[in-house]
Amino acid sequence: MNTPPAPTRASGPSAAALLLVGIVLGGVVGGATATVITGRAPSELVEVTPAPASIPTASAVVVPAGSDTTVDVVRELLPAVVTVVNRAANGQPQSSGSGFVIDAQQGYVATNNHVVENVRGTGTGASFDVIFSDNRTVRATLVGRDPQTDIAVLKVSASGLVAAPLADSDKAPVGAHVIAIGSPLGEFQNTVTEGVVSAKGRRVQETANVFLEDMIQTDAAINPGNSGGPLIWVAAKQVVGMNTLVQVDPQTDIIAQGLGFAVSSNTIRDIANELITSGQVVRGFIGISYLPLTPRQAISLGLPATAGITIDSVVAGSPAAQAALRPGDIITKVNDQQIDQQHPLTSIMAKTRPGDRARLTVIRGGQTQVIEVTLGRQQ
C-alpha cells in the first residue's frame, strides 16, 4: 500500500495521540442533569431570599445591524449543519456525529467515515437519521465512504435544504478566523466555537494504518460529537474543512486544548464528487510505505523545505517492486507534479487509476532519474 509507517511516539508526559471526535452514545444521557448541576439532592435545597442588587445597570449599547460577521455567518450556514445519528436494528441510537449539506438540490450530506463506518455492511439493519437545526429528523442513506481520507457522503430526501459552500482551502491563510459548528457530546446540537487556522498541510495518524494528509490545524474547540461538522472560514462564509480529530495525551486521556484537525475542503470536494459518482474511490497503487523528507534533507537536495518523500519499505510483488524501487529512494515528483504540503502523495494518487503509467522523479545515490511505474489497484 502507499502507506506511511507510524511515527515513533515520544515517551513520558509529553507523548500525545489523536482522538476521533465522533461519539458513542451511552445509556442515560440527561436523567441526572439536575442533581449534577445543583450538587445536592432535591431534599437538601434551601430557599434563600436574595439581597437587593447594588450593582448599577450598564447603559444600553446600540450595536449597528450587520456589524457582527460571525453572527451573520452562523445565521446563514447553521441550517446546513446536521447531527448524524446511527441507529441499530432495534431503533436505539448507537453513535452520533455531525455533518453538513453540500448539495441542497440532490440532498447530499458530507460527514466523516468514522461516524458511519461501524454500521456499514454489518447486516444488522442499522440506519442513519439526520437532524437539522430546525429539529426536523430525516432518514438518510449511505452513498459511499473513503476510509483513507475519512470522508463519507449520505443522501436525504427533504425540501428547503441549505448547502454550505466549499472554499478553496489552498487560499485560506494561516491566521484566518474560523468557526466550528457541530453537536459535541451528542446532545449539545448546533454548538458554535471559534478560533483560527493555526497551520496547514499537517500530516496526522488517525489509526494504525491510516494517515491523513493536507489537514488543517485549528484552535477552535472541537469535542466528541463534532466529527463531520464544518470548519467555516468566516471572511469567505465558506467551509474550509471538516472537523475530524483532536490531540490527546495518552498518559491521561486528557484532550489537548487548541489542537484540532480538519480535513481540507479541497479534499472533501474531490472525494465527495467521486463517492457520489461511483460510490467508492478507486486509486492507483504504487506499493510503498514512506516518510516525508525532513526540511534539512530537502534543502540539502536543493528542494523546497516541505517537498519529497523517502521510501521506507516496498511491498513484495507490487508495482514499486516490479519497477525496482527500493528503500531509501527519494521521490520528488509524480508525473511532473511536485510532492509537497499542498500536493501530498495521497492527493496526487487519488487522481490516478489502476493501469495508469506514472513517471516518478527519483533521487538515488545523489543522482536524479525518472522511473515509470504501471499502477495497480489500491486495496
Residue 214 belongs to domain with CATH number: 2.40.10.10
User: Would you state the pLDDT for residue 351?
Assistant: 81
Longest dimension (CA), the chain: 85
Looking at residue 127, its pLDDT comes to 74
Q: How many CB atoms lie within 10 A of CB 371?
A: 16
Domain match, 179 and 139 both: no
φ and ψ at 49, to 5 degrees? Answer: -90, 115
- Range with the lowest mean pLDDT among 11-25, 60-74, 170-184, 297-311? 11-25
Q: How far is CA 28 from the centre of its chain?
A: 28
Contact 84, 99 (CB under 8 A): yes
Are 63 and 56 in contact by the 8 Å Cβ rule? The answer is: no
Do 170 and 274 fall into the same domain? yes
Asked if pLDDT for residue 43 goes beyond 60, the answer is no
- Asked if 74 and 148 sit in the same domain, the reply is yes
- Whether 269 and 170 share a structural domain: yes
H-only helix segments in 182-306: 265-278, 295-300
Structure-block grid coordinates of residue 78: 447553521
Same domain as 254, residue 313 = no
User: Residues of 26-63 as b/e, b for ≥16 C-beta within 10 angstroms?
Assistant: eeeeeeeeeeeeeeeeeeeeeeeeeeeeeeeeeeeeee
- For residue 252, give the amino acid letter: T
| For residues 18-40, average pLDDT | 39
- Residue 119: per-residue pLDDT: 55
**Single pTM value for the model:** 0.73
Domain boundary among 257, 278, 299: 278
The answer to whether residues 144 and 178 belong to one domain is no
Looking at the predicted structure, is the pLDDT value of residue 306 above 90? no
Domain boundary among 230, 257, 278: 278
Same domain membership, residue 239 and residue 200? yes
Share of the chain above pLDDT 70, in %: 75
Structure confidence at residue 240 (pLDDT): 98
Asked if the model's pLDDT at residue 4 lies above 70, the reply is no
Q: What is the CATH number of the domain that holds 353?
A: 2.30.42.10
Is residue 180 scored above 90 in pLDDT?
A: yes
User: Looking at the domain assignment, is residue 101 inside a domain?
Assistant: yes
Same domain, 149 and 176: no
- pLDDT band, residue 172 (cuts 50/70/90): very high
Residue 44 lies inside a defined structural domain of this protein: no
Highest mean pLDDT: which range of 116-130, 197-211, 329-343: 329-343
Last residue of a domain, one of 278, 302, 331: 278
Report the candidate in 379, 203, 201, 364 with the shortest Cα–Cα distance to residue 291: 203
SS3 308: coil
* Residue 90 maps to a domain: yes
- Average pLDDT over all residues of the chain: 80
Whole-number pLDDT of residue 5: 46
Q: Is residue 47 part of a domain?
A: no
Based on the fold, state whether residues 271 and 288 are members of the same structural domain. Answer: no
Residue 29 has pLDDT above 50, yes or no: no
Residues 6+ apart with CB under 8 A from 358: 284, 286, 334, 335, 352, 372, 373, 375
Residue 205 confidence (pLDDT): 78
Helix, strand counts (H, E) of the chain: 7, 22
Is the pLDDT at 74 greater than 70? The verdict is yes
DSSP for residue 123: S
Residue 9 predicted with pLDDT over 90: no
- pLDDT of 145 reads 92
pLDDT at 209: 66
pLDDT number for residue 90: 67
Q: What is the pLDDT of residue 161?
A: 97
Closest CA to 91 of 48, 139, 161, 136: 139
Please state the domain count of the chain: 3
Q: Is residue 30 part of a domain?
A: no
Residue 241 belongs to a domain: yes
Angle (CA) 311-316-317 rounded to 5° is: 115
Please check whether residue 355 lies inside any domain of the structure: yes
- Please report whether residue 352 resides in a domain: yes
One domain for residues 290 and 261: no
How sure is the predictor about 117, in pLDDT bands with cuts at 50, 70 and 90? confident
Within this chain, do residues 206 and 251 fall inside the same structural domain, yes or no? yes
**Residues annotated as catalytic (active site), given as ranges:** 114, 150, 227
Give residue 331's domain range. 284-377
Q: State yes or no: pLDDT of 265 exceeds 50.
A: yes
Q: Which of 122-126, 191-195, 326-330 has the lowest mean pLDDT?
A: 122-126
- Choose from 16-30, 240-254, 334-348, 358-372 the range with maximum mean pLDDT: 358-372
**Residue of higher predicted confidence among 197 and 55:** 197
pLDDT of residue 183: 84
pLDDT of 337 above 60: yes
Task: Note whether 126 and 206 are same-domain residues.
Answer: no
Average pLDDT over residues 5-34: 41
pLDDT at 268: 96
Residue 100's φ and ψ, nearest 5 degrees, are -155, 150
Most confident among 54-68, 84-98, 168-182, 281-295 (mean pLDDT): 168-182
* Torsion on CA atoms 231, 235, 238, 242, rounded to nearest 10: -10
Q: Are 377 and 280 in contact (CB under 8 A)?
A: no
